[in-house]
Amino acid sequence: MAARWAPPAGLLLLLLLAVLLPARADRPARTAHADDDPEASSAVFQLYGNVYPHGLYYVAMSIGNPAKPYFLDVDTGSDLTWLQCDAPCVSCSKVPHPLYRPTKNKLVPCVDQLCTSLHGGLSKNHKCDSPKQQCDYEVKYADQGSSLGVLVNDSFAVRLANASVVRPSLAFGCGYDQEVGSSTEVAPTDGVLGLGSGSISLLSQFKQHGITKNVVGHCLSMRGGGFLFFGDNLVPYSRATWVPMARSAFRNYYSPGSASLYFGGRSLGVRPMEVVLDSGSSFTYFSAQPYQALVTALKGDLSKTLKEVSDPSLPLCWKGKKPFKSVLDVKKEFKSLVLNFANGKKALMEIPPENYLIVTKYGNACLGILNGSEIGLKDLNIVGDITMQDQMVIYDNERGQIGWIRAPCDRIPKFGSSLL
């Protein structure tokens, strides 16, 4: 998860009843296996939130027995799923739902393979003083946030494509000491849904339980909301742009490799950028050289009707002759960016103005690509939510590839029908 740019606290707890997943009386909950039935190997979840003004996309998950709802920040940039919890809590934000309360029999022991895997992704120093010792952890994020906690097991209630409900027992973090945002305001989520490629991620655990294939995708709507899916039933293999997953020098990030940057059809003349995709980042971050080259190109290409203006929302903003109501009002004044990935054949990610600009509540157009070197990201270039909006982005760990294709993300797909 990269930095989120000052997301406001508090989101409406909308459509909560729609995402609770009680087992139907006429259909007992069962453990599905990915090879049982072609429709038993995928699950779709509705997403909530937006890039601006909320600053994140989140999903509702039903956890525990009886199942209770929790809002989780969808994060492909980290592995561990965790909830703020009462263990008891040392430092917790105010959250939308009552804190998760673990029981002693839910603790994952230090000697468990998942604990070893978790610590392998966090640090190399993992040793257990006794077989009964609990699995403690600390995760740190690029925005200086952190969570200290203990690994627990509990059931997740998930309805699959064939309408059956599975309740696998999965390992996740019970975070009792957090450094996240303001402790006086209500946080928009109860925790983080880690969807990285590590074995502790929920996606990998679904695969280990034989429920879905190790494939995850998201479709973030520019109008807010969207959907998240596990499994490959919705994947448009023949139509999407695909690149092999590259090993990132930066943790377990999903990386399509290095890319050249173009603006308005012309190369910006910067060295190839190592790029990662991170749904836990609201905005896109370029390292110093490509960021400065982009800003110079933007300023040199603007019409005289736009004037640079100060806006508390983001660092670089412009105003027009009258306030803008949406990005559609201003997109004709800007040109598209293109990332040309070296790993794939004609592997281009087009970034039109609506995928790098926002219009703020003040009626200004602001650049949603930020200078990552100013927050310690060094040479890392992060493609965040703003740039992935209205695209289906697929992380296929089965085939070791990443894909994307334009899609109507405000339409929740039904299995057996074509979304695209």
Query: Looking at the annotation, which residues are catalytic?
Result: 75, 278
Spatial separation of the C-alpha atoms in residues 357 and 352, rounded to whole Å? 9
Strands (E), 136-282: 136-140, 146-159, 165-166, 169-179, 191-194, 215-220, 226-230, 241-244, 254-263, 266-267, 273-277
| Kind plus residue range of the DSSP H or E element containing 402 | strand 401-406
- Return the closest-CA partner of residue 409 out of 389, 395, 394: 389
Strands (E), 195-328: 215-220, 226-230, 241-244, 254-263, 266-267, 273-277, 284-286, 307-309, 317-319
Q: Is 281 helix (H, G, I), strand (E, B) or coil?
A: coil
CB atoms within 10 A of CB 219: 29
CA Rg value for the chain: 21
| Kind plus residue range of the DSSP H or E element containing 349 | strand 347-351
Are the beta carbons of 212 and 200 closer than 8 angstroms? Answer: no
CB atoms within 10 A of CB 329: 15
Give the angle 179-181-186 at the CA atoms, nearest 5°.
115
Spatial CB neighbours of 57, under 8 Å, sequence gap ≥ 6 = 47, 48, 49, 50, 73, 74, 218, 220, 225, 226, 279, 385
Pull the structure tokens for residue 113: 């393979």
CB atoms within 10 A of CB 256: 28
Pull the structure tokens for residue 281: 């980042």
Query: DSSP character for 354?
Result: G
- Return the closest-CA partner of residue 243 out of 399, 359, 410, 79: 399
